[in-house]
Structure 1
Amino acid sequence: MSLFRISRTTPLPPAEVWRRLTDWPAHGAQVPLTRTRVLTPGPSGPGTRFTARTGIGPVGIDDPMEVVRWEPPGEGPGASGICRLEKRGRVVTGWAEFELRAEPDGSTRVWWTERIGVRGVPRVAGPLLGGAGKLVFGRALDKLLAHRPR
């Protein structure tokens, strides 16, 4: 298992940051060779399940996840939110969590923390797995938070 943490600050308000970070298919669009499929109907919340599949054609790895904590940000100064995902796969294990908080200057601070394990990968490779995760998910987070006119 490997643990890593990424943080970013964005000029976006907390509600927009939350909307972007809980757009599960958008996550897959930001990670190379990955597609995300939501398995539960309706709006996201506790119990929402989805699978991120990374690979080419029939060769790939599934990363099934379930939302186990869902606290959207409120309004106003100091608004904060947190979402936790449990990885439910046979190959990919662990959890991911993002937190966000409105800052006094109007920006939003985001922290992404993940503990990830891949069955069959030796423990000694943990630092390499964490470094790769930090790089890949840092880029994905940057893209999810990038300013896009609506």
Structure 2
Amino acid sequence: MARFLLTRRSPLPPAECWRRLTDWPRHGERVPFTRVRVVPGGGDVRDARDVHGLPGDLVVARTRLGPLRFDDPMEIVELTAPAPGQDGHCRLAKRGRAVRGGAELRVRAVDGGGSEASWAEELRIAGLPALFDPVVAGVGRVVFGRLLDHLLDAPAQGASAE
């Protein structure tokens, strides 16, 4: 299984860092040829604007390149927003046929202000021998590192970029 860990410091307060990190549709902005949506689990009917989801929901990343396409459904297993004295934590379990594994995202307050976000991922791509795990991990570090930087550097919702 390919594994990687990314960590970023941010001047953002933990709640804002968390909001950006769990805005799943925005993840598609930096993952090539991919759109991301949240599908409510358990038949719940909720506001379609709820981009953060709840435990049991699926975050579905659909990658499409011409006629080739596949879904990477990830179930939100745990989702706890940061609070005073408590880290934010999200655990995703990959439930698709093409990509298996999971991810854990954490946001913690940093002494002196700001926050630290970490993203740990384990991936197994169907049909790809374990011999390629280092390559998959390297590509994952680059793609998800760019994504993490984008999510944390983007202007706050409703703010202007000057």
- The question of a shared fold, defined as TM-score above 0.5 by the shorter chain, is answered with yes
Once residues 61 and 133 of structure 1 are traced to their aligned partners in structure 2, the CA distance between those partners, rounded to angstroms, is 17
Bigger mean CA deviation after superposition, 28-37 or 50-59: 50-59
Structure 1 residues 81-102: Cα deviation after superposition (integer angstroms, max 9, x where no partner): 1101000001100001111110
Once residues 66 and 135 of structure 2 are traced to their aligned partners in structure 1, the CA distance between those partners, rounded to angstroms, is 26
Q: Does 1:63 align with 2:72?
A: yes
Q: Does 1:96 align with 2:103?
A: yes
Matches for 1:43-122 after TM superposition, within 5 Å = 43=50, 44-75=53-84, 78-122=85-129
Q: TM-score, normalised by structure 2?
A: 0.86
Bigger mean CA deviation after superposition, 33-42 or 62-71: 33-42
Query: Alignment length, in residue pairs?
Result: 148
1:15 corresponds to: 15
Structure 1 residues 58-79: Cα deviation after superposition (integer angstroms, max 9, x where no partner): 312210011001111003xx44
SS at match of 2:32: coil
Amino acid at match of 1:121: L
CA RMSD of aligned residues (A): 1.3
Amino acid at match of 1:96: A
SS at match of 1:30: coil
How far off is 1:48 after superposition?
A: 1.5
Once residues 150 and 27 of structure 2 are traced to their aligned partners in structure 1, the CA distance between those partners, rounded to angstroms, is 9
1:39 corresponds to: 39
Amino acid at match of 2:5: R
- Candidates 125, 129, 132, aligned match of 2:139: 132
Once residues 120 and 84 of structure 1 are traced to their aligned partners in structure 2, the CA distance between those partners, rounded to angstroms, is 25
- For the Cα contact (< 8 Å) 1:65–1:85, is it kept in 2? yes
Once residues 87 and 38 of structure 2 are traced to their aligned partners in structure 1, the CA distance between those partners, rounded to angstroms, is 25
Q: Does 1:6 align with 2:6?
A: yes
- For the Cα contact (< 8 Å) 1:30–1:144, is it kept in 2? no
- For the Cα contact (< 8 Å) 1:74–1:81, is it kept in 2? yes
Q: TM-score, normalised by structure 1?
A: 0.93
Structure 1 residues 102-131: Cα deviation after superposition (integer angstroms, max 9, x where no partner): 011101011100001100111100000000
- For the Cα contact (< 8 Å) 1:100–1:110, is it kept in 2? yes
Amino acid at match of 2:63: T
1:143 corresponds to: 150
List gaps (5 residues or longer) in structure 2: none
